[in-house]
C-alpha cells in the first residue's frame, strides 16, 4: 500500500500551498495582530479558581463557600484573561449570577443533608462553559459559520440540559473552528483563539476555545465534541484532560453514543454519526468520571465507572509513533521522552506489566479516518457534503470562487474550509479503496481489542508535535490522525497532561482502552495526574 507517485505529488503541492498561506498569515499577524505585554496570562491568585469541580460542589453543599462568590471569582478571571485568549465568545454573566444567588438561597432555606444534595445536584453551583457548537438556550449556535451568525438556541443540547440539572452554572460559550472541521479554532465570526501558555501558538480544534478557557482557569468543567480528535487535541495543546467516550455502534443500537450527541451543529450524518462523540473536558482528572456519569444519562449503564480499578494489575502497552506514515510529522523528541518517563514509572514504581508494541497498521491512520468519514449510515444515507454545510444547506457555495475571493480578502469562509471543500471529492474513497481500508480498519481494531481485553490500556502520542504556532497546521494538515484513528476504531480515549516542555508548552499522552472500558482510562488519568502533576497554571513557567 505504498503511496503512488501521483499521491506524493498531490501531497507536496498541498503542503506547499499550506506553507505559503501560513507565511502570509504569520506576516499579517506580525503587521496587524493583537499586541500584549505578556506572552501568557497572569497566574491565578484566587484560591477558589484552583479547586476541582467536585471540590467546589462539596464546599457549596456544606455551605462553607457561597456559590455567588465562586461564580464572581470566575467572572473576574474571565474579564482579566479572555481578551488575550479569546476562548469565550459570548458571556452570560448576568444569568449566571442570578442562578448562583438562587443556589445560595436554596441552601439557606432548605436544610437537606449533604448526601441528599450530592445525589440531587452533584455539580451544584459549579461554573461550566460550553462549546459554541452545542445549543445553550439564549446563546449563539453558529459553529463559526457566517451564514448562521444570527442562529440563537431556543433550547439546550441534551448534555447541557443534564449538566444544568446536576447544578452546573454556564458562564458562556466557547470558540471553535468553522463547522468543527479543522484543528485551529478560528472563524470569521469570532476570530482566533490563543494558547494561554504562549499566545502565538494554537489552541487546537475544534473544541479549542473550550480547551484554552479551561487551561487559563476561566472555567473548571466544559463540554466538547470529537469526531477526529476535537476534544483530545485541544486538551493536549492546552495541558488539560479530555475524554472521548466509547461509542456503541458495534452493538447496532439506534442511539449511537454512550453520551447523547443531540443538540449540536453540525450533526454527523451517514456513517459519520457512528463515530461522533460528546465528552467532558476539565482541568482536574477527578471531575472526568462524575461529568461522564451526568452527561451520559441513561447511557451510563453501558459503562463500568463504579468498578474499582487496581492499576498494578493492568497490562500497559505503548507505541511512540505511528510506524512511519509519509503523511504525518515525526513525533517530537520531548513527547517521546515524556512517554518513556511514564513507562519507566509504571514498570519500576507501580510494578505493572508494560510492553512495547509495533502495530504496523497504525501508519494508515489517516486513511482509516477517511474510510470512516466516507461510510454510509445504517440506513444507507450518504454523509453530508462539506460544501453543502458551508452553505448551511441553502446557499450554493463555489469553493474555487471563494478561494479567489479569499485571496482578495472578500470571502466569509476560512482557508481551511475552502481547502476542504475544494479537495472533498478527491479525499473521499471510491468503493475499491473504501473496501481495502475498511478491511485494514477491521483488522487493526480486532488486533487492538484482543490485545487490550478488559484489563489493558494503550499509551500513544496525542499529536506528533506540541502546540504549533498559528497557521502552521496548514502545512501539516494530516497530523490530527494521531487522534482521529481512535474515532475510526471506536475505542474510548482519555488525553492526559504530562507537564510542560522546556519552552513552557504542554506535553501529554493518550490512554486508550477496549470498548466500554472507559473506567480504565479514567483511573489511569487520575494516577498520572497524581504522579506527574496534571494541569500547570499558565504564567508560572
Instruction: Give the β-pairing of 221-226 and 127-131.
Output: parallel
The total number of residues written for the chain in this structure = 541
Q: What is d(CA 267, CA 537) in angstroms, rounded to the nearest whole number?
A: 34
CA torsion sign, 525 to 529 to 530 to 532? Answer: positive
Per DSSP, 496 falls in state: E
CA angle 487–490–494, rounded 5-degree value: 70
The DSSP-derived string for 461-487 is -S-SSS-PBTTGGGG-TTTTHHHHHHH
Q: What is d(CA 145, CA 378) in angstroms, rounded to the nearest whole number?
A: 28
Q: What is d(CA 82, CA 460) in angstroms, rounded to the nearest whole number?
A: 32
CA angle 351–352–355, rounded 5-degree value: 130
Cell numbers at 173, concatenated: 460559550
Q: Report helix, strand or coil for 89.
A: strand
Q: What is d(CA 470, CA 80) in angstroms, rounded to the nearest whole number?
A: 23
Per DSSP, 333 falls in state: H
Q: Of 264, 277, 88, nearest to 179 (Cα)?
A: 264
Please state whether 288 falls in left (phi above 0), alpha (psi between -120 and 50) or beta.
alpha
* Structural contact between residues 271 and 201, judged by C-beta atoms closer than 8 angstroms: no
* Structural contact between residues 171 and 213, judged by C-beta atoms closer than 8 angstroms: no
Q: What share of the chain is helix, strand, coil (3-state, %, to 5)?
A: 45, 15, 40
Instruction: Give the β-pairing of 277-282 and 241-244.
Output: antiparallel
Instruction: Give the β-pairing of 353-356 and 315-318.
Output: parallel
Residue that is written with C-alpha cell 505493572 in the block: 352
* Structural contact between residues 377 and 273, judged by C-beta atoms closer than 8 angstroms: yes
* Structural contact between residues 309 and 316, judged by C-beta atoms closer than 8 angstroms: no
Per DSSP, 5 falls in state: H
What is the set of active-site residues? 131, 206, 230
- Cis amide prior to 174 (ω within 30 degrees): no
* Rg, C-alpha atoms of the chain: 22
Q: CB-based contacts of 99: which residues, under 8 Å, 6+ apart? A: 71, 169
Amino acid at each position: 500500500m505504498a503511496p503512488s507517485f501521483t499521491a506524493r505529488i498531490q501531497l507536496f503541492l498541498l503542503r506547499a500551498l499550506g506553507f505559503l498561506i501560513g507565511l502570509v498569515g504569520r506576516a499579517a499577524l506580525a503587521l496587524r495582530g493583537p499586541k500584549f505585554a505578556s506572552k501568557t496570562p497572569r497566574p491565578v491568585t484566587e484560591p477558589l479558581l484552583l479547586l476541582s469541580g467536585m471540590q467546589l460542589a462539596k464546599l457549596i453543599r456544606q455551605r462553607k463557600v457561597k456559590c455567588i462568590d465562586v461564580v464572581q471569582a470566575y467572572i473576574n478571571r474571565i474579564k482579566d484573561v479572555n481578551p488575550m485568549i479569546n476562548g469565550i465568545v459570548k458571556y452570560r454573566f448576568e444569568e449566571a449570577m442570578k442562578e448562583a444567588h438562587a443556589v445560595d438561597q436554596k441552601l439557606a432555606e432548605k436544610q437537606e443533608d449533604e448526601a441528599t444534595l450530592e445525589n440531587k445536584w452533584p455539580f451544584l453551583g459549579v461554573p461550566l462553559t460550553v462549546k459554541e457548537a452545542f445549543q445553550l438556550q439564549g446563546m449563539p449556535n453558529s459553529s463559526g459559520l457566517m451564514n448562521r451568525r444570527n442562529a440563537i438556541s431556543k433550547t439546550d443540547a441534551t448534555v447541557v440540559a443534564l449538566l444544568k440539572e446536576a447544578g452546573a452554572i454556564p458562564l458562556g460559550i466557547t470558540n471553535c473552528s468553522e463547522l468543527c472541521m479543522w484543528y485551529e479554532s478560528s472563524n470569521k465570526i469570532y476570530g482566533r483563539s490563543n494558547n494561554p501558555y504562549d499566545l502565538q501558538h494554537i489552541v487546537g480544534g475544534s473544541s479549542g476555545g473550550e480547551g484554552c478557557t479551561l487551561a487559563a482557569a476561566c472555567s473548571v468543567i466544559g463540554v466538547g465534541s470529537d469526531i477526529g480528535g476535537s476534544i483530545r487535541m485541544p486538551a493536549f495543546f492546552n495541558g488539560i484532560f479530555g475524554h472521548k467516550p466509547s461509542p456503541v455502534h458495534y452493538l447496532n443500537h439506534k442511539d449511537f453514543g454512550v453520551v447523547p450527541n443531540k443538540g449540536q451543529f453540525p450533526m454527523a450524518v451517514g456513517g459519520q454519526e457512528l463515530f461522533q462523540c460528546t465528552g467532558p473536558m476539565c482541568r482536574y482528572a477527578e471531575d472526568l468520571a462524575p461529568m461522564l456519569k451526568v452527561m451520559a444519562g441513561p447511557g451510563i449503564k453501558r459503562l463500568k465507572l463504579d468498578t474499582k480499578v487496581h492499576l498494578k494489575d493492568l497490562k500497559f502497552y505503548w507505541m511512540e509513533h505511528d510506524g512511519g506514515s509519509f503523511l504525518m510529522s515525526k513525533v517530537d523528541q520531548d513527547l517521546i521522552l515524556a512517554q518513556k518517563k511514564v513507562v519507566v514509572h509504571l514498570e519500576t514504581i507501580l510494578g505493572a506489566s508494560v510492553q512495547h508494541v509495533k502495530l504496523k497498521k497504525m501508519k494508515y491512520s489517516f486513511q482509516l479516518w477517511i474510510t470512516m468519514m466516507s461510510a454510509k449510515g445504517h440506513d444507507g444515507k450518504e454523509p453530508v457534503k462539506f460544501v453543502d454545510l458551508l452553505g448551511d444547506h441553502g446557499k450554493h457555495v463555489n469553493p474555487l470562487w471563494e478561494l479567489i475571493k479569499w485571496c482578495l480578502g472578500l470571502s466569509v469562509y476560512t482557508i481551511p474550509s475552502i481547502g476542504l471543500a475544494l479537495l472533498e471529492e478527491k479525499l473521499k474513497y471510491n468503493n475499491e479503496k473504501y473496501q481495502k481500508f475498511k478491511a485494514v480498519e477491521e483488522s487493526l481494531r480486532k488486533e487492538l481489542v484482543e490485545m487490550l481485553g478488559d484489563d489493558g490500556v494503550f499509551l500513544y502520542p496525542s499529536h506528533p508535535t506540541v502546540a504549533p504556532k498559528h497557521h502552521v497546521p496548514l502545512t501539516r494538515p494530516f497530523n490530527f490522525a494521531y487522534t482521529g484513528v481512535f474515532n475510526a476504531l471506536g475505542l474510548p480515549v482519555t488525553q492526559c497532561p504530562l507537564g510542560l516542555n522546556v519552552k513552557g508548552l504542554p506535553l501529554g499522552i493518550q490512554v486508550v482502552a477496549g470498548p466500554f472500558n472507559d473506567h480504565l482510562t479514567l483511573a489511569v488519568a487520575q494516577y498520572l495526574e497524581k504522579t506527574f502533576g496534571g494541569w500547570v497554571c499558565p504564567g508560572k513557567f
